[in-house]
Amino acid sequence: MHIMKIAFVGHGYVGLVTAAVFADFGNEVFVIGHTKKKVEDLKRGIIPFYEPGLSELVKKNIEAKRLNFTLDYTPSVPESDAVFIAVGTPATLTGDADLSTVLEVAQEIGKNLEGYTVVATKSTVPTGTNKKVQKILEEAKPRGAEVDYASVPEFLREGSAISDTMNPDRVVIGTESARAQEVLIKLHEPIGAPILLTNFETAELIKYASNSFLALKISYANAIAKLSELVGADALKVLEGLGMDKRIGNMFLAPGPGYGGSCFPKDVKALISIAKDNDYAFSLLEEVENINHQARRDIVRKARKILGDVRGKKIGIFGLAFKPNTDDMRYAPSIDIITMLTNDGAKITAFDPKAHNNAKDVLSNIAYADDMYSVSDDADLLILLTEWNEFREINFNEIKKRMKALNIIDGRNIYDPEQLRALGFNYVGVGR
């Protein structure tokens, strides 16, 4: 095992999780932040977002003195063998990835380099970014410092980020320097995953191609669900049959309100934009986006069909986060669906086990319940949008006593339609 000194700039889902995991492997890790309050909190083990197991892993490695938080690029950068850029790359209005923070951070890293350092981007960045970052590093570095650049895209999923980082399907290392390759291979050795060595552009494109393909699978499942409803087929069985084919695989084939989160929507947009910049119209992905919007509208259409006019009707929402086990609300389907319903005059009460604080920033005109049962008080309709485990175990006899009318839209198909119908509910799923 090779113990190294490494640094991460950015302490979001990617930066903090990978930093904590590499510290847990025995490396000495610096995490460079940019706001005093967050860095002070992190030093005490207080994490700004919810990710299962992360708080324990961070505290353990702070105590072992392997994980250090700082606002300063020195001595963290000059002492490190490798420095990872893990800041956000949100979509701009045109759909391109906003690289301003990546480039700003590269400048700071460059100025503080000393000896030989590998600088690697973990943030998802469009093809060609490597050239910009490399130029900044070369121009900013002090005389005598040596730097090689690599693109090491990250594939972790929020909600299972630690185990994804410890057991990834592959590690992609994109660099043209054999020396940088050697450092990064040694660093990733304890993970034991297959390592794919590529050039910069290939590594950058692998990340966008993977996320866009997963988004495509979700939209495909939603299109099949729509068609199943029209022809009277059971989409879940159709997709189960499809997924049993090893060439297709059964993951990411669940119909529902569409994909959301901080990655798929922006990465699909960015890949469309990268293609456009290179005179290729990636219209397949434009349709993936259309189907995704349609999936959200379909939930609202079902609510209108059940309730007639939704104005003044009370609708309870189970789940707000874009998926279970996270408090992340970025591009959550719940935002679009609830906004369409409140625009129609519906009164919304929602419950999510973790996401209320983040949801309040984007959904201010709805009520938040203290527990999942009170969502159903007096409700004309319940809509399940995020499949948290607690919603799977809910007692529908209790819900039944509280609701005004027994209507439910199961946006994630987690309930048994027959059981609910036997209890007197009007059950509507997606594609069933």
The contact set with ligand NAD (CB under 6 A) reads 9-15, 32-34, 86-89, 101, 104-105, 122-124, 154, 156-158, 262-263
| Closer to ligand NAD by Cβ: residue 89 or 222 | 89
The dihedral over CA atoms of 45, 46, 49, 53, expressed in degrees to the nearest 10, equals: 40
| Minimal distance, residue 29 CB to ligand NAD, in Å | 15
Q: What is the token pair recorded at 338?
A: 């609830």
| Minimal distance, residue 266 CB to ligand NAD, in Å | 7
The span from the CA of 189 to the CA of 197, in Å, is: 14
| Minimal distance, residue 212 CB to ligand NAD, in Å | 13
The span from the CA of 76 to the CA of 66, in Å, is: 13
Q: What is the CA radius of gyration of the chain?
A: 23
Sign of CA dihedral 423, 425, 426, 428: negative
For the question of residue 304 being annotated catalytic, the response is no
| Closer to ligand NAD by Cβ: residue 172 or 235 | 172
| Minimal distance, residue 263 CB to ligand NAD, in Å | 5
Sign of CA dihedral 391, 392, 393, 396: positive
The span from the CA of 297 to the CA of 340, in Å, is: 8
Of 118, 215, 254, 263, which one is the catalytic site residue? Answer: 263
| Closer to ligand NAD by Cβ: residue 39 or 233 | 39
How far, rounded to the nearest angstrom, does the alpha carbon of residue 175 sit from its chain's CA centroid?
Answer: 26
| Closer to ligand NAD by Cβ: residue 61 or 123 | 123
Which amino acid type is present at position 77?
V
| Minimal distance, residue 265 CB to ligand NAD, in Å | 11
DSSP line for 170-203: -EEEE-S-HHHHHHHHHHHGGG---EEEE-HHHH
| Closer to ligand NAD by Cβ: residue 28 or 158 | 158
In this chain, which residue has its C-beta nearest to ligand NAD? 12
Catalytic residue positions? Answer: 263
